[in-house]
Amino acid sequence: MRCTLPVITLLLLTGCQQHRPEPARSAAPSATSQEPLQFEPVKIADAAPVSGWVEVRPGVQVNVDQQRIRIAAEICLDPATGEPGRGVPLEAILVTPVSGKEHEAIAVTKAKPSDVHFALLLLRLENGTPGRWTFDKATRRLTAHPPTGPQVHATLIHGVKTTRLADFVVVLDDDGKATRPFTATAKTGPSNWMFAGSFFGKFQGKEVYDADYTGIIIGLCTFGGEVLAWPDVLDPESARQQPIWYGKSDMLPPFGTAVMVELTPEQ
């Protein structure tokens, strides 16, 4: 079933999935956890709506006429924790504190991933499916299945400056230095993510939106539950693929700086 507007409640997210794939990994903390991790003490600056914008959910603003979404966030990439001569290895771009991946991401937000999904539906986008792997027992091989969905242009706004999020990522070159520009080999622009839309799964007998429990809104590596997925399938397991994606800290605002992440459907 496809989603149509107007969308009046997040419960409509349930109708946005044609199927519910099995998660590529655990969709939530271990069963011993009684509640999701709390957001505090991470402090994200409040972002009051400006003219033409509506705050549809806490920390998520939408301008339907301009076809734009803004998410209040904070820089969490800390150059002090990086590798000498390379910087900070990345696994994701925009996460929530429940992910535990702030040390491997560019920005952190208190906005719920399902609320970002909701905002994208308001722009009349139809989510696709997350990237994943399947294992063939006969050949003992993993096959990558890229994500699907409409392309979304993602930028970081700091003051009057707007920069493509992909420009903050560099790739190891042949000499082992993090200098090579980050681009996609799939048939999309180098700065575009895909509205894969995560999925619904079971946790402790309840149906949950996977990204709310894993905390990844804009992915880099393919975990299989991110709201916005990079078009290439990138393996997060260092045992199978050494980390080669690094944050370009010299371009980013300082650690802890309040910023906006803006999403725009690619025309």
pTM for this predicted structure:
0.79
- Per-residue model confidence (pLDDT) at position 65: 93
Each of the 267 residues of the chain gets a pLDDT tens digit; together they read: 334 333 333 344 444 443 333 443 333 333 333 333 333 445 566 666 667 889 999 999 999 999 999 999 999 999 888 888 788 889 999 999 999 999 999 999 999 999 999 999 999 999 999 888 787 888 888 787 889 999 999 999 998 899 999 999 988 877 777 677 777 776 555 568 999 998 887 777 788 888 999 999 999 988 888 999 998 887 766 555 566 788 888 889 999 999 999 999 987
- Per-residue model confidence (pLDDT) at position 19: 36
- Per-residue model confidence (pLDDT) at position 70: 95
- Per-residue model confidence (pLDDT) at position 22: 40
Query: CA-CA distance, 146 to 259, in Å (whole number)?
Result: 30
Calculate the dihedral angle through the C-alpha atoms of 102, 46, 62, 253, rounding to the nearest 10 degrees.
Answer: -50
- Per-residue model confidence (pLDDT) at position 178: 66
- Per-residue model confidence (pLDDT) at position 149: 94
